[in-house]
Amino acid sequence: MKLKIVGITKKYHNLTALDHIDLELHNGIYGLIGPNGAGKSTLMRLLAGELRPTSGNIFWNGKDIFKLDEKYKRYIGYLPQTFGFYKEFTGYEMLCYIGLLKSKDNIKKIRAQAKQLLNMLELSDKADAMTGKYSGGMKQRLGIAQALIGNPRILIMDEPTAGLDPMQRIYFKNLLKKYSSQKIIIVSTHIMSDVQELADHLIFLKKGRVVLDKSRDAALEESADYENLYMRYYAENIPSGETKHGIK
Ligand SMILES: Nc1ncnc2c1ncn2[C@@H]1O[C@H](COP(=O)(O)OP(=O)(O)OP(=O)(O)O)[C@@H](O)[C@H]1O
């Protein structure tokens, strides 16, 4: 399984959000790092097939994703940065609904998977509560569940740990690790500790360009630790007076 990004540029009017991006992604967990405005969400929306590039191509196993269109979207589990659920749906109903839209499985299988995911994300006791009454963290966990339903080959998660408490973060990281040998997983964040120990591969974006694209081990050979590595590429983004220990 291979996702290949060739010469992707995305412009919003005069602003170049992504500038000639080339990447090749295989099974495993990719940490997509960059400060605010680096282009992470834009790249993720392109990979999810939600946005069209200004130029360049994305190939899934050799096929242009924009020609595959709906067929490609079935392979995708996408957690956007912001999303809304139907407020009157329960968590369980919402998951079943998204599962039906995304997968070819029959309703019985989708129901079983929805229950399993609610359980995995510790939402079983809220399964029958309306999503409009969910807390921010609960919504985020339901968002993770909807990305996982249908067993997608590619998981694209935009700041997935936002709103999770420390225990849930650990739990979530372990969950992703479980899937990492079978899926291409891309996780964006500007918090280095989120990708520490999680990502097999690091991609650093800076002003719409890839400035680092290496396995975690190769990247760490460049620097003493993750904070140092971040400093090397983004020092000018750190407000003056802040110590390296101030970096999250
Ligand atoms: N729909 C849009 N219209 C115009 N400009 C946009 C749009 N979406 C993003 N941008 C701009 O493109 C650039 C990249 O934005 P993007 O959201 O991809 O960055 P990001 O790395 O995800 O940032 P953050 O960490 O803040 O989420 C920014 O300058 C942003 O203002």
Q: Where are the beta strands (DSSP E) in 114-174?
A: 154-158
The CA-CA-CA angle for residues 154, 97, 188, to 5°, reads: 30
How much distance in Å is there from the Cα of 18 to the middle of ligand 1?
Answer: 10
pLDDT at 206: 96
For a mutational test of ligand 1's pocket, the pick from 19, 41, 203, 210, i.e. the residue with the most ligand atoms closer than 8 A to its C-beta, is 41
Q: Which residue has the higher pLDDT, 167 or 115?
A: 115
pLDDT at 80: 93
The ipTM of this complex is: 0.98
pLDDT at 70: 85
Q: Which of 203, 244, 195 is nearest to 224 (CA)?
A: 244
Phi, psi (5° rounding) for residue 218?
A: -65, -40
> pLDDT over 70 for what percent of the chain?
95
Residue 225 has pLDDT above 90, yes or no: no
Q: Which residue has the higher pLDDT, 180 or 6?
A: 6
Per-residue pLDDT of 41-86, as tens digits, reads 999 999 999 999 999 999 999 999 999 988 898 899 999 988 788 8
Dmax (CA) for the chain in angstroms is 57
Domain ranges of the chain: 3-238
Give the pTM: 0.91
pLDDT at 245: 44
Integer angstrom CA distances of residue 118 from 43, 74, 85, 95, 122:
29, 21, 15, 9, 6
For a mutational test of ligand 1's pocket, the pick from 9, 11, 14, 15, i.e. the residue with the most ligand atoms closer than 8 A to its C-beta, is 15
pLDDT band at 39 (very low <50, low <70, confident <90, very high): very high
Q: Which two tokens stand for residue 212?
A: 């680092």
Per-residue pLDDT of 107-144, as tens digits, reads 999 999 999 999 999 999 999 999 999 998 999 999 99
Arch. (CATH architecture) of 3-238 = 3-Layer(aba) Sandwich (3.40)
Per-residue pLDDT of 182-218, as tens digits, reads 999 999 987 788 888 789 999 999 999 999 999 999 9
